[in-house]
Amino acid sequence: MLTALVLLPTGVAALLLCVPRSAPRRLFLVGWAATCTVELALTVAVWAGYRSGGGTQYETRARWIPSAGVSYHVGVDGLSLPLVALACVLFLACSVYALRETRRVREFAALFLFLQTTCLGLFVAFDLILFFVFFDLSIVAMYFVIAGWGHPGAARAALKFFLYTFIGSLALLLGFIGLYLAANPHTFDIVELTQQNPLAGRSLYGGLVLLAVGVGLAVKTPTVPFHTWLPPAHTEAPAAGSAILAGVLLKMGTYGFLRIAMPILPDSWRHYALVFVVVGVVSVLYGALVALAQNDFKRMVAYTSVNHMGYIILAVGAAAAAGDGQTEARQLAVTGAVVQMVSHGLLTGALFLLAGVLYERGQTYDMSAYSGVAGRAPVFAGLTGVAAFASLGLPGFSGFIAEFQILTGSLGPRPVATALALLGILLSAGLFLRALQRIFLGPLRLPEAPGADRPFPDIRGHEGASIVPLLVLAVVLGLAPRFLLDVVEPASRGVLELLSR
C-alpha cells in the first residue's frame, strides 16, 4: 500500500502531461485535487490499520542495487506516519487553494503531484540512498515551482534555494557514504545500520560523519546560520509553494535528525548534544527577533519558521543531554518535537495561504500599505487571527501542546537554554499582535489603485475550503491530541532506547 501511496501522484502527473494543453483548465486542477483526495483516503486507511507500539509496519523491501548494499525499503512507524498524514493534508489544501490558478495549470499540477511523491517517499524510506534520492528530487521540484510561478524576483530566490539545499544534500550524501564504509557488512539500510551502531567507540570518525549529516539536515531545516535561503524563497514563491515548503519540506531536515542522526550515531549525538541545544536556542531567538523587524507579512511568517524549527532542535539536543534519571523528560522532549512538526505544518501552511489571499487582493505583502482590513474582510481577519494566535502557542491549539512538551522536557536537562527559549514565545506574541494590529485595525487603508479604491473581497469559497480545515485540525490536536500521541510516544521511546546504547 505504501508504494501505491508514494507513486500514485507521479503516475497521475505523467498522465496529465499527456493531455494537450488546450484541454479545459479545470480538468488539470480537478484531477490534481481528486488525486490528493485519494492520497488522503489511503493515508487514513494506513492510520486506521496501524497498531500503536507495533514498531515499523506496512514494510516492503526489494533488491535495488544489491552490489552497493542499496534496497527499496519502505515502512511507517510513529515518527513517519504523522508526517505522511500532514503531507497529504497540506497537498490537498494547496490543490483546493489553486483551483483558480490560470498560469500553465497542467505543468503546475504535475509539478505538485511529483513533489508529493518526493515528500511521501522520503518519510517512508528506510534506506539512506532512497532517502537521499527523494531528498534531492524535492529540491528540483520546488526549484521549478518557485522559478516558474513565483513573483518577479523568483528566479534569483529559486537559484539561491537550489544552491544552498543542493550543497547541503551533498554534505548529507558524504555522511551517508561514511556510514556505509563503517558498516560491516556494508549497507545503506537504516534498520541494519541502527542495529550495528557501526561508529560506536570511534569518536573522531563519528564526529565527522555527524558533522556532514548534521550540516545537510540543518540546511534543509533550516537553522541559523544556514537559514538565509529561506526568507527570499518564501517571499517570492507562490502561496501554495510556500505552504508546502514550510509545512512539509522543512520537516525533512528535522525528521532526518530523529530517523538517522540520533539512532545511528548515538555516541556522537550525546557527545555533541550541547551544540544542537545552542543552535536551537539561537534559532528560536534570532528567528523571532528578525521576524519582529519585518515589514513584509510573508517574510515575517518565513522567519517564524526559523523560530519554530529552533524549538525542535532544542528538544532533540536536550533529550540527548538528559541524565539517566530523566527518562520521562527525554521522551516528552522527543514527542514534543514530532508534535511541533505537525503543528507547524498545519499553522504555517495556513498562514502562507492567508498571505496569498492578502497578496491576491492588494498585490503587496507590505503591512504598511494596509489598515482596517477587518471592516472589509471580517472572515479573512478572523482566520488570520486564529492562525496567528495558534502559531504563538495559545492554549487550545496544537502549538501549545507541542511547545509545552518541548519546554517541559527540556527544562530539567537544559534549564538556562529553556529559559532563553521562553523569550521566543513572548517575541512571537509581540510580532503577531503587531501584524494583526497594523493590517486589520484602524481606519481603512488599502494599496492605491488607479481611479478608485482597490476592492478587497472577503474569503472566497476555495480559499476557505483550503484554510479552514487546517485550522480545525490545529484545534482538534490542541483539545484532543491523544490519537496523535498514542502513535508518537512509543516511537519516541524507541529512539531514546537506541540513543542510550
Yes or no: say if 247 and 278 are a contact pair by the CB < 8 Å rule: no
Q: Which of 426, 423, 421 is nearest to 406 (CA)?
A: 421
Is the link from the previous residue into 222 a cis peptide, with omega within 30 of 0? Answer: yes
What pLDDT, on a 0 to 100 scale, did the predictor assign at position 452?
Answer: 44
Yes or no: say if 144 and 47 are a contact pair by the CB < 8 Å rule: no
**What gap in Å lies between CA 8 and CA 353, rounded to an integer?**
25
Beta bridge partners of 61: 73
Query: For residue 123, which amino acid is it?
Result: F
Number of Cβ within 10 Å of residue 449's Cβ equals 11
Helix 398-411 / helix 378-391 crossing angle, nearest 10 deg: 20
Beta bridge partners of 63: 71
pLDDT tens-digit readout, 66-116? 888 899 999 999 999 999 999 999 999 999 999 988 889 999 999 999 999
What pLDDT, on a 0 to 100 scale, did the predictor assign at position 433?
Answer: 93
**Which cell numbers hold the place of 103?**
498560469
Query: For residue 256, which amino acid is it?
Result: G
**What gap in Å lies between CA 228 and CA 39, rounded to an integer?**
33
Q: How far is CA 427 from the centre of its chain?
A: 22
Yes or no: say if 76 and 63 are a contact pair by the CB < 8 Å rule: no
Give the DSSP H or E segment for 146.
Answer: helix 128-149
Beta bridge partners of 445: 371
What are the Cα distances from residue 127, in Å, to 121, 264, 497? 11, 12, 21
What pLDDT, on a 0 to 100 scale, did the predictor assign at position 450?
Answer: 47
Q: Which of 90, 473, 56, 22 is nearest to 249 (CA)?
A: 90
Yes or no: say if 80 and 98 are a contact pair by the CB < 8 Å rule: no
Transcribe 337-384 into DSSP letters. HHHHHHHHHHHHHHHHHHHHHHHHHHS--BGGG-B-HHHH-HHHHHHH
Q: Map residue 172 onto helix, strand or coil.
A: helix
Give the DSSP H or E segment for 36.
Answer: helix 25-49
Q: Map residue 37 onto helix, strand or coil.
A: helix
**What gap in Å lies between CA 405 and CA 57, rounded to an integer?**
26
What pLDDT, on a 0 to 100 scale, did the predictor assign at position 90?
Answer: 97
Yes or no: say if 138 and 249 are a contact pair by the CB < 8 Å rule: yes
What are the Cα distances from residue 291, in Å, to 288, 315, 424? 5, 22, 11
Q: Do you know the residue count of the chain? A: 501
Model's pTM, two decimal places?
0.94
Beta bridge partners of 74: 60, 125
Tens digits of pLDDT across the chain (501 residues): 899 999 999 999 999 999 998 889 899 999 999 999 999 999 999 999 999 888 899 999 998 988 888 999 999 999 999 999 999 999 999 999 999 888 899 999 999 999 999 999 999 999 999 999 999 999 999 999 999 999 888 899 999 999 999 999 999 999 999 999 998 889 999 999 999 888 887 889 999 999 999 999 999 989 989 989 999 998 899 999 999 999 999 999 999 999 999 999 999 999 999 999 999 999 999 999 999 999 999 999 999 999 999 999 999 999 887 555 577 888 899 999 999 999 999 999 999 999 999 998 888 899 998 989 998 899 999 999 999 999 988 999 999 999 999 999 998 888 999 999 999 999 999 999 999 999 999 888 888 754 445 678 889 999 999 999 999 999 999 999 999 999 999 999 999 989 887
Query: For residue 274, which amino acid is it?
Result: L
Query: For residue 406, which amino acid is it?
Result: I
Q: Is the dihedral of CA 184, 132, 215, 260 positive or negative?
A: negative
Q: Is the dihedral of CA 88, 131, 4, 339 positive or negative?
A: negative
